[in-house]
Amino acid sequence: MVLTIYLIAITLISFLLFAIDKRKAIKHAYRIPESVLLFTAFLGGAFGSWMSMQLFHHKTQKTKFRILVPLAMVWTVGVLIWWLY
């Protein structure tokens, strides 16, 4: 139960961080560091990161994100499998 709540929360946080960063990019405002965006993906928010990337077309052209966010998704699934079994 706690794990489920954590994953929902970190996924939502990651999704929102990407959305906020996209809005800031459009407004030429101070941006959220890429390291923070990727860190939240590897903390379990990879699916939120990926959904936000696709929905807002944000960071989709950056090779770093095109490789590391899917890798974070694999990492998250691997950790879940390890945790549950």
Per-residue pLDDT reduced to its tens digit, 12-54: 999 999 999 999 999 999 999 999 999 999 999 999 999 999 9
Domain count within the chain = 1
| pLDDT for the residue numbered 39 | 98
Domain carrying residue 33:
1-84
| pLDDT for the residue numbered 56 | 96
- Does residue 1 have a pLDDT over 90? no
Measured CA to CA, the distance from residue 55 to residue 84 in angstroms comes to 30
Which of 81, 79, 74 has its CA nearest to residue 47?
74
- Say if CB 12 and CB 18 are below 8 A apart: no
- Does residue 60 have a pLDDT over 90? yes
